[in-house]
Chains A and B, each alone.
Chain A
Amino acid sequence: MTPSETFVIENLRLYFRTHQGPVQAVDGVNLTLGRGRTIVVVGESGCGKSSLGRAILRLLPRNVQTYSGSVWLNGIDVMTLTEEQFRQQVRWTRLAWVPQGAMNALNPVIGIGDQIAEALLVHQQADTPLSARRAVEEGVGQVGVPLDFLDRYPFELSGGMRQRLVLAMALITHPDVIVLDEPTSALDVLTQANIMNVLKTIKRSTDTRFVLITHDIAASSELADDAAVMYAGQFVEVSGADQFYREPLHPYSQALMASVPALRDDKRLAAIPGQPPSLINPPTGCRFANRCPARFSKCSEEPPLFPVEGRLVKCWLYEERSHA
């Protein structure tokens, strides 16, 4: 049913068990990503976007209550694999992950070069330490880090350098999909621009797919082919980047865009009133309804994702346009 070139997520759910009841962190997410494309997932903190990243990679905490759905990669549903098969065949070899705060993700007592080589050796992509070393040198050159850094330890490097090395680590196995969770949010403006340049270069020269998870809408536009807006565990809008940044459709996307300060034009900033809903007992109906300026009687029922001119919007306002 799935062409082997695409990466498809169907109805992915991840609920956590708590004393107050299940937290519906990821609640029925669908996503399709073609070869060489990048989708950005934007949303406020607590909307479930990092949980989505972890759910894709199956990096789960112990208190998982529900974990279901399908993740199709190269024609197989990796959700059906056992944990050991997933570890051997998928994680890091096909699906790699750059964690949040990646610059603190390096092991402080192992040299940089050895850490990156470890991934290759564990996943049998290099037979000898020497050939691993050669591959590491190539990969590190790709992210623009001088080779003499390979013999250093993480504390000797700046945040931007460490971030690039973690990126090199994710790229070293030539995965099909890389999930980047807030790759630049802890970095300075110049360093951030630098990392984005590196990512753009990699994106152009390989056909790796990226899932970029971020709360920084301005920075997300640096890499996006497609954009998805997440709210309360669900995608409320999925759209091509060109249309999304120019004219977001969902009232939440519009409010989010209006809250982003712009350096170059004189727009008025507007905050979004109210709080995101609790994911323990999310409201029935549209989850954004009680903060929404455009709400009407229909919003007490849950809207489906309406297709509107090649985009998807989870809002009753677009019911008619989707039939037209």
Chain B
Amino acid sequence: MPNDLLLSIRDLHTWFELRRWGFVRVGFVHAVDGVDFDLHRGEAVAIVGESGCGKSTLAKTILGLHLPRQGEIIFDGRRVRGREDLRWYRSRVGYVQQDPYGALPPFMRVQRILEEPLIINGIGPRDERVRRIRTALEDVKLTPVDDFLARFPHMLSGGQQQRLVIARAMILQPQLIVADEPVSMLDASVRVEILQLLRGLQERYGLSVIYITHDLSTVRYFCERVCVMYGGLIIERAPIADLLRTPRHPYTQALLAAIPDPDPENAHRMRDVPSGEPPSLLHPPAACRFHPRCPAFMPGICDVHVPKDFEPSPGQHVLCWLYDDTGLVAPRPAGRA
């Protein structure tokens, strides 16, 4: 069903120029370096990775806040390029920021915060706007609504602030929500509430959601599919259950092994952690970007040839030579567990 596709990203590159003394170009930070990505209507996809892997840059590029250097964004069948496209596009995409307090203007009351996007997009008259504000606040369970309309952001708790940010993202009735670490600043108990709220809204309105996070353990409660990012690339894409059961990429395996569950046994065993640090995106490693840290590194292959997209099981895509079943570059049996 091609019509089912809401957002499609092809070969997206977002680079940041580094200059010295203001004019000598030193190089580029390859924050997003060739990402392909499809999102269907009503689907929630997580993008997971460590800090510095480019996931927030990807989110901001998708939102149109960074201009890609190369590649294209196709939303609802229309290519997003010029100013007019962006205007049309932004009114259909909502953004939930990481730090709710930083994302809310401190001098505006709740009503004003929610009314602003409506005014900018020419939605009126006033009664209609007020009606939509009330619905949005009810949707995020900031009730009774009248208690909240006249408050300033600092009068709300962290969880309530994040609900307000979600209400603001929802107010234009978008088709897509990009949530960049929406719960990482919140306490565990509030975190669950916000995730359940987002999930509920997503199901009720048939929204598509891109959920950016570093915390894989929250993903399973929220998303059907997950993309793992490393060094500016999506290195593995899979349905969440498959990824948790059989992670394929050595990096994904390491990531999963490093996440603790609350278990007293943890105190008695060491965790396997790959040595080294995430790669510099100014001069990323040649070929496979994980090869300097990879426990399954194959000299002559991983550091020479850029890994292709392999599909070791249906729906699970991985950029890793271990799963090369064509035998062209790496004549090794595929499907290493």
Contacts and interface: CB of A to CB of B under 8 A. Distances in A.
B188 A193 contact: no
A192 interface: yes
A256 B189 contact: yes
Given A188-B214, A218-B261, A263-B259, A197 B192 contact: no
Contacts of B262: 217-218, 220-221, 245, 257, 260, 262
A104 to B, nearest CB: 14
Nearest to A195: B273
B256 interface: yes
Interface string A202-228: 000000000000011111111111000
Interface in A177-201: 188-194, 196-197, 200-201
Give the bracket for the number of chain B residues in contact with chain A: 35 or more
A259 B264 CA distance: 17
B146 interface: no
A158 B273 contact: no
Contacts of A194: 273
Contacts of A221: 260-264, 266-267
Given A217-B262, A244-B264, A197 B271 contact: yes
Interface string B249-262: 00000111111111
B313 interface: no
**Highest count of chain A CB atoms <10 Å: which of B51, B262, B266, B267:** B262
A69 interface: no
Contacts of A201: 270
A255 interface: yes
Contacts of B4: none
Contacts of B188: 44, 215-217, 256, 259-260
B196 interface: yes
A275 B157 contact: yes
Interface in B10-55: 50-51
A31 interface: no
Contact of A219 (B214, B216, B260, B273): B260
Nearest to B258: A193
Contact of B217 (A45, A255, A263, A272): A263
A189 B217 CA distance: 11
A271 B192 contact: yes
B157 to A, nearest CB: 6
A63 B267 CA distance: 38
B260 A218 contact: yes
A191 B273 CA distance: 8
Interface residues of A, number: 47
B218 interface: yes
B255 A263 contact: no
A150 to B, nearest CB: 18
Contacts of A190: 50, 254-255, 258, 273-274
B193 interface: yes
B50 A263 contact: no
A242 B265 CA distance: 8
Nearest to A257: B262
Nearest to A45: B187
Contacts of B274: 190
B191 interface: yes
Interface in A129-188: 158-160, 188
B267 A262 contact: no
B201 interface: no
Interface string A262-278: 11110001111001000
Contacts of B221: 261, 269
Contact of A189 (B195, B255, B267): B255
A1 B31 CA distance: 61
A246 interface: yes
B273 A197 contact: yes
A96 to B, nearest CB: 21
Contact of B277 (A45, A158, A197, A271): A158
Contacts of A241: 264, 267
13 contacts: A160-B277, A193-B259, A193-B273, A197-B271, A217-B262, A221-B266, A241-B267, A244-B264, A261-B191, A261-B215, A263-B216, A263-B220, A265-B261
Instruction: Report, nearest first, the 5 A-B pairs whose CB atoms are least far apart.
Output: A193-B258, A271-B193, A272-B189, A188-B50, A271-B192
Given A190-B255, A192-B258, A261-B218, 20 more contacts: A44-B188, A188-B278, A190-B50, A190-B258, A190-B274, A191-B50, A193-B273, A221-B261, A222-B260, A257-B262, A259-B188, A259-B191, A261-B192, A261-B220, A261-B221, A264-B244, A269-B192, A269-B196, A269-B221, A270-B192
Interface of A: 44-45, 158-160, 188-194, 196-197, 200-201, 215-225, 241-242, 244-246, 255-257, 259-265, 269-272, 275
Interface of B: 50-51, 157-158, 187-193, 195-196, 214-218, 220-221, 244, 254-264, 266-267, 270-271, 273-274, 277-278
